[in-house]
Amino acid sequence: MKDMAPDYIPTLDDVIAAHERIKPHIHRTPVLTSSYFNQLTGAELFFKCENFQKAGAFKVRGACNAVFGLTDEQAARGVATHSSGNHALSLSYAAGRRGIPCHVVMPRTAPQAKKDAVIGYGGQITECEPSTTSREAVFAEVQARTGAEFVHPYNDPRVVAGQGTCSRELNEQVEGLDAVIAPVGGGGMISGTCLTLSNIAPHVEIYAAEPEQADDAYRSFKAGHIIADDAPDTVADGLKVPLKDLTWHFVRNHVTDILTASEDEIVDAMKLTWARMKIVMEPSCAVPLATILKNPEVFRGKRVGVIVTGGNVDLDKLPWFKN
């Protein structure tokens, strides 16, 4: 089976333009270090804390780039997406900053806390049934009615270029990086990382980290073509979606390797990070550290950037409480 070629592959110029465009709307997030984790791993780890980002996740970079790149005419009709996660929050935040509508299609079964968060950022929710058929039908109806611009959570050059600004900052903040590791779900962050670093620091190794229970990117990488899973289940709920043509392009061409971790390893790494670094981060963000702890020989002696992708976690349902 031949994979589709993407329509447009963003360039470093797109990343630089994105960075200028979104700077007023995002944080230049800090990089934290931990002597505890350095001792434990034998590597020098530099945690790029996108959990401190606006709307609590890196996705605001891509969302802002898409929203603020629209013409006034496009913008007047608003933006639309289907997501119940950080992309919905981020697009709502970005649209709010520009003062335009943001339409979000969400399953009616999504947790009320997620709906409230989207509404809190000014998004307008249209509910669908929890099925792909219903979601697509409802989304088509919303788009037809509003003329809103669709901003895909990751398979969109504007979004990938926006996410690429994160490793551009990281490369400025940390001298002499040997490697960078980020989680891979749909592949927006890892693609932005590949795009930027392959241009400005091509010697830096790029690792993607994935849950064993949603390892479609790992299997795609080994097979040489996209393998999409049907409804994988993992605590790292941001990483359940499959690669698409644009993100597969970057993974295939620029990723050094993909490493995986079990559910227990992810939860242990998450809890250990909260306990030792005193930061709140999502299960998805713990996957890179879990794979570093599992494969210390890959990282020992290296200066490694670790992208902490977000901090939007339900504090009433922490995964180390088994009940």
Select 51 or 191, whichever has its Cβ closest to a copy of itself: 51
C-alpha 2/C-alpha 167 separation (Å) is: 31
Q: Which of 10, 238, 311, 319 binds a copy of itself (CB under 8 A)?
A: 311
- The distance of closest approach from Cβ of residue 28 to a copy of itself in the complex, given in angstroms and rounded to an integer, is 13
Select 48 or 152, whichever has its Cβ closest to a copy of itself: 48
Binders of a copy of itself in range 224-283 (CB under 8 A): 271, 274-275, 277-281
Two structure tokens written together for 92 = 């709502």
- The distance of closest approach from Cβ of residue 321 to a copy of itself in the complex, given in angstroms and rounded to an integer, is 7
- Could you tell me if 89 and 312 are in contact, meaning their C-beta atoms sit under 8 angstroms apart? yes
Number of residues forming the site for a copy of itself (CB under 8 A): 20
Of 301, 306, 278, the residue nearest 290 (C-alpha): 306
- The distance of closest approach from Cβ of residue 120 to a copy of itself in the complex, given in angstroms and rounded to an integer, is 10
C-alpha 95/C-alpha 99 separation (Å) is: 6
Select 148 or 170, whichever has its Cβ closest to a copy of itself: 170
Between β-strands 102-107 and 124-128, what pairing exists: parallel, antiparallel or unpaired?
A: parallel
| Phi, psi dihedrals of residue 281, rounded to the nearest 5° | -140, 160
Select 8 or 36, whichever has its Cβ closest to a copy of itself: 36
Binders of a copy of itself in range 92-111 (CB under 8 A): none
Per-residue binding string, a copy of itself, 280-299, x by CB under 8 A, is xx------------------
| Phi, psi dihedrals of residue 210, rounded to the nearest 5° | -145, 145
By CB under 8 A, which span of 170-178, 192-200, 223-231, 312-320 interacts with a copy of itself? 312-320
Q: 127: how many CB neighbours lie within 10 A of its CB?
A: 15
- Could you tell me if 121 and 76 are in contact, meaning their C-beta atoms sit under 8 angstroms apart? no
Two structure tokens written together for 2 = 């031949």
Binders of a copy of itself in range 56-75 (CB under 8 A): 56
Q: Which of 51, 81, 234, 309 binds a copy of itself (CB under 8 A)?
A: 51
Select 22 or 217, whichever has its Cβ closest to a copy of itself: 22
CA 179 vs CA 44, 49, 221, 307, 323: distances in Å = 10, 16, 19, 11, 38
Q: 176: how many CB neighbours lie within 10 A of its CB?
A: 9
C-alpha 251/C-alpha 191 separation (Å) is: 6
By CB under 8 A, which span of 51-59, 97-105, 129-137, 251-259 interacts with a copy of itself? 51-59
Binders of a copy of itself in range 129-148 (CB under 8 A): none
By CB under 8 A, which span of 44-52, 160-168, 215-223, 231-239 interacts with a copy of itself? 44-52
Two structure tokens written together for 203 = 């010697």
C-alpha 202/C-alpha 41 separation (Å) is: 24
- Could you tell me if 187 and 243 are in contact, meaning their C-beta atoms sit under 8 angstroms apart? yes
- The distance of closest approach from Cβ of residue 180 to a copy of itself in the complex, given in angstroms and rounded to an integer, is 21
Of 185, 168, 156, the residue nearest 67 (C-alpha): 156
Select 223 or 315, whichever has its Cβ closest to a copy of itself: 315
Q: Is residue 7 involved in binding a copy of itself (CB under 8 A)?
A: no
Binders of a copy of itself in range 18-37 (CB under 8 A): 30, 32
By CB under 8 A, which span of 10-18, 48-56, 58-66, 241-249 interacts with a copy of itself? 48-56
Q: Is 18 left (phi over 0), alpha (psi -120 to 50) or beta?
A: alpha
Name the site residues for a copy of itself (rule: CB under 8 A): 30, 32, 49, 51-52, 56, 271, 274-275, 277-281, 311, 315-316, 318, 320-321
